[in-house]
Amino acid sequence: MIAENLIAKMETVKALLSGARHVAVLTGAGISSESGIPTFRGNGGMWQGEQAEELARPETFAREPERVWEFYNWRRATVAGCEPNPAHRALAELERRVPEMMVLTQNVDGLHQQAGSRNVIEMHGSLWRLHCTQCTYFEENRESLPPLPECPRCGNLLRPGVVWFGEALPRGVLSAALDSVSRADILLVVGTSSLVQPAASFAHIAKRAGAVCVEVNLEATPNTGFMDFALHGKAGEILPALVE
Ligand code: BV8
Ligand code: ZN
C-alpha cells in the first residue's frame, strides 16, 4: 500500500524518467531483499554480528580462509535459490525504454542480469566469480565448492571474486561508474544504506553534475537530505509503479 504523498512524488519522478536521456541506477542489498536475500546492515542483516563485516576483509581471508569460504559458500547457496523480484524486472524494463541506462550495483548476486538488465557494472564483484590468489586464473561457476577450493592451474587457493574492504574496485569499474554518474540526467539510488565508499559518493557527484537524484529506500540514509526526491517504501512496489 503506497501512501498518498508518496504517490504525488512518484508521479513527478515517473514523468522525469519518461523524458530522460541517460539514467544511472545505483543499487544495494535492499533491491534483492524481496528476493529473499538478507541485507547487510538492516534488521536480520548479515553484518549484524560484527563478525560478518570482519569476514569481508583480505586480512581475515589470509588468517582464516576456511571461515571466510564458509561465509561465501553460505551466501552462494542462499542466492542460488533466489529469483529476481519486481524491482529488478522494473529496471530491466526501464533500460528498454530510455536511450541510455547503466545499473551500478554493489550487489554480488547477479540478479540484475538474471532479470534482463544488459548494462550492469558489478562494482563489488560477483559471488559466482572465483580467482586464484597467486596466478591470473579465474572462473565463473555456480556449483557448491569444497571448503578450500584450489586453482586448477597452479594448485594455490582460490578466493571469492568480490571486492573486500580496503581493496580497490576492479580496474576500469570505478571510472566507468563515475562516467555514467556524471553524465546522467537522473540518478536513482535504490536499496542502499549509502555507508560504503566510493558508491556512497555517487549521488554527490551526480548532483554536482546537474542530475536529479532520487532515493528509493525503506528508510532514510545519510544521503536522504540532499536527494531531490526521497521515495521511502519497498523497491519491489515503488520501481514497478515508476515504470508502469
Ligand atoms: C576502497 C564485499 C580504496 C562483497 C563489501 C572512511 C571514509 C570513506 C571510506 C572509508 C572510510 N574507512 C574505510 C573506507 C573505505 C571502505 C568503506 O567505505 N568503509 C565504510 C564501511 C566506512 N570502502 C572500501 O574499502 C572500498 N574500497 O575504498 O578502496 C582503495 C583505493 C585504491 C587502492 C586500494 C584501496 C571497498 C568497498 C567494498 C567492500 N565490500 N562487501 C560482499 O561480500 O558482498 S561491502 C558490503 O556493503 C556489500 O558489498 C554491500 O554491497 C555494501 C553496501 O551495503 P548495502 O548494499 O547498502 O546494504 P545494506 O544492508 O547496508 O543496506 C540495505 C539498505 O536497503 C538499507 O538502507 C535498507 O533500509 C534498504 N532496504 C531493505 N529492504 C528494502 C530496502 N530498500 C527498499 N526496498 C526494500 N525491500
Ligand atoms: Zn593459480
Each residue of 44-86: pLDDT tens digit? 777 656 667 889 999 999 999 999 999 999 999 999 999 999 9
Ligand lying nearest the CA atom of residue 151: 2
41 vs 169, which has greater pLDDT?
169
Mutate to test the pocket of ligand 1, among 31, 35, 40 (most ligand atoms within 8 A of CB): 40
Residues tagged active-site:
124
- Assess contact for 69 and 149: CB atoms under 8 A: yes
Average pLDDT over residues 167-192: 96
Average pLDDT over residues 124-148: 97
Cα angle 202, 203, 208 (rounded to 5 degrees) comes to 100
Ligand lying nearest the CA atom of residue 222: 1
CATH code assigned to 4-37+84-124+169-243 = 3.40.50.1220
What is the pLDDT at residue 50?
A: 61
Cα torsion angle, 105, 110, 112, 118, sign: positive
What is the pLDDT at residue 33?
A: 96
Nearest CA to ligand 1 atom 30: 168
**Ligand 1 binding pocket includes 33 (Cβ within 6 Å):** yes
Tell me if the domain spanning 38-81+125-162 has CATH number 1.10.10.60. Answer: no
What is the pLDDT at residue 53?
A: 80
Q: Where are the domains of the chain?
A: 4-37+84-124+169-243, 38-81+125-162
Percentage, residues of the chain above pLDDT 90: 89
Confidence of residue 5 (pLDDT cuts 50, 70, 90): confident
Average pLDDT of the chain is 94
Q: What is the pLDDT of residues 195-213, one digit of tens each?
A: 999 999 999 999 999 999 9
What is the pLDDT at residue 1?
A: 63
Nearest CA to ligand 1 atom 9: 197
21 is known to lie in a ligand binding site? no
What is the pLDDT at residue 54?
A: 87
Q: What is the pLDDT of residues 109-122, one digit of tens each?
A: 999 999 999 999 99
**Ligand 1 binding pocket includes 88 (Cβ within 6 Å):** no
Count of other CB atoms within 10 angstroms of residue 179: 12
pLDDT of residue 43 exceeding 80 = no
DSSP output for the chain: ---HHHHHHHHHHHHHHHT-SEEEEEE-GGGGGGGT---SSSTT-GGGSHHHHHHSSHHHHHH-HHHHHHHHHHHHHHHHT----HHHHHHHHHHHHSSEEEEEE---S-HHHHHT--SEEETTEEEEEEEESSSS-EEE--S---SS-B-TTT--BEEEEEPPTTPPPPTTHHHHHHHHHHH-SEEEEES--S-STTGGGHHHHHHHTT-EEEEEESS--TTGGG-SEEEES-HHHHHHHHH-
